[in-house]
Structure 1
Amino acid sequence: MNSSLISKLGAELFGTFWLVFGGCGSAIFAAKQIAQDADGSNVYQLGIGFLGVALAFGLTVVTMAYAVGHISGGHFNPAVTLGAAVGGRLPWKDLPGYWIAQVVGGLIAGLLLLVIAKGQPGFTATGNMAANGYGAHSPGHYSLAAVLITEIVLTAFFLIVILGATDDRAPKGFGPLAIGLSLTLIHLVAIPISNTSVNPARSTGVAFFNGNGAPAQLWVFWLAPLVGGALGGIVYQFVFANRQADAKA
């Protein structure tokens, strides 16, 4: 393995760690916080809620895309890597290494989140690790079909944004902002439906620590994002990328 590939895989591991730690961490620790007066007369909601969690996921991508995106492309997501390969942005031979690095980064983040969360008296990991799910494990109890459609469509559009924002014809230096804002928007739509995956490494990173049905449903959050990622790569490659040749003609 050459040093360039090692640097790329390291960037993907650290970037995915940051995404899971920051995004899922915000959901675990900060989404719901209750405070009350000493006499219990008034109760205050101090948590960041869905909007805060959505922003946290978007900020993780913005910050790491600027930090290491120039090294690895800043995927931090197996679905993005697949879409990049389909769209001709990544050699297929690099895909397995990227996927392994991303999953390992996500699992390390999930484990560290569990260790920290257990520092709170009475914390129970089961059902409280920001896992994705459908049916009874969906925040809004949405069906499997609804979750599949949502995850496929949102991941496909995420790839179109990513490939477009990093196209040679796009404004320089703004790619990470567009990608991070896109991920924020995706979370605003999908948190009530599936707790938002669009990223198999994010889902894997917390599923086994969460339990409560999440490991058994994990296949959905690999299948749907990968299908969406591939579709996004195909659409960009054949609908938008071919216009480069027309522009040069």
Structure 2
Amino acid sequence: MNDRAIAAEFTGTALLVFFGVAAAAVGGPLIGPVGIALVFGLVLLALAYAFGPVSGAHLNPAVTFGLLLARRIGPRTAVRYAVAQCAGGVVGAGVLYAIVHAIPGFTVHGAFGSNGWGARSAVGIDGVGAFLAEAVLTMLLVLVVLGVTRRSPAPGAAGAAIGLTLSALVLVGLPLTGCGVNPARSLGPALFAGGPALSQLWLFLVAPLVGGALAAGVDRLLHPVRRASAVPAPDTMAVGAA
């Protein structure tokens, strides 16, 4: 792991947040939920191939946390990746924030593609339901990452599988919570939206990490680590996730 990997995680997460949140906050009325889901999934797919060879393209602290608990990366790398991802999420949202101010009548306060529950959920889901939804959705995402990045005869398929999974999760999660499943993706928009988006942010930081931990536990049950091979794999093992 080197500075190029950290730069890749920062840049990749910034781009993922910029394009994904732009689709949700600006393009939503025009492209609808299917369009938003496709943007998130296709951008992640592209970033996985672009940055995967450099950093593994985690692009999500929950993915990094799951890989850490699965002993696929070390603690030092996990911390540096998470910091870079969160910083990238804030920068990506900040660039979008600067752009939307050129749109007449565009409202940022309390919205801006941020996540939420209660009155901020399309279906009015409560806090407990939102926490469960975010944890379960993230668990599936991290499980897919752990599965497809395991030594495979067709490693090139990993990016496609992860991107398609994210699109499916967005379709399910959008009406529930806005579909966070990524603390860095939730952090950036909430900081600029402020108000209720910021007060509810804690759930979208904690629940995805719980989901990542659950995924690591399931992965360990399905793929027990042998004593002879219980050494953490190279720090860059993974390809993406939102």
* TM-score, normalized by the shorter chain, greater than 0.5: yes
Q: Distance in 2 between matches of 1:185 and 1:141?
A: 21
Q: Distance in 2 between matches of 1:170 and 1:210?
A: 44
Q: Distance in 2 between matches of 1:152 and 1:189?
A: 13
Q: Deviations over 1:108-145 (max 9, x none)?
A: 11111111111011222113310000111112211111
Q: Distance in 2 between matches of 1:242 and 1:7?
A: 30
Unaligned residue ranges in structure 1 (runs of 5+): 33-46
- Find 2:65's aligned residue among 40, 58, 82: 82
Q: Distance in 2 between matches of 1:177 and 1:100?
A: 26
Q: Distance in 1 between matches of 2:154 and 2:68?
A: 22
Residue 15 (structure 1) aligned with residue 12 (structure 2): yes
Q: Which has the larger radius of gyration?
A: 1
Residue 98 (structure 1) aligned with residue 81 (structure 2): yes
Q: TM-score, normalised by structure 1?
A: 0.88
Q: Distance in 2 between matches of 1:81 and 1:87?
A: 10
Cα deviation, residue 215, structure 1: 0.8
Q: Distance in 2 between matches of 1:115 and 1:124?
A: 12
Partner of 1:26: 23
Cα deviation, residue 241, structure 1: 5.0
- 1:164 is matched by which residue type in structure 2? G
Question: What are the equivalent positions in structure 2 for 1:151-170 lying under 5 Å apart?
Answer: 151-169=134-152
RMSD: 1.4
Q: Deviations over 1:33-71 (max 9, x none)?
A: xxxxxxxxxxxxxx1101110111111210111001111
SS at match of 2:26: helix
Mapped contact 2:37–2:167 kept (Cα < 8 A): yes
Question: What are the equivalent positions in structure 2 for 1:1-249 lying under 5 Å apart?
Answer: 4-32=1-29, 47-169=30-152, 171-240=154-223, 242=225
Unaligned residue ranges in structure 2 (runs of 5+): 229-242
4+ long deviations beyond 4 Å: none
Change (3 A) 1:234 1:110: same
What percent identity do the matched residue pairs reach? Answer: 40
Mapped contact 2:142–2:212 kept (Cα < 8 A): yes
- 2:206 is matched by which residue type in structure 1? L
Q: TM-score, normalised by structure 2?
A: 0.90
How many pairs are equivalent?
Answer: 227
Mapped contact 2:111–2:197 kept (Cα < 8 A): no
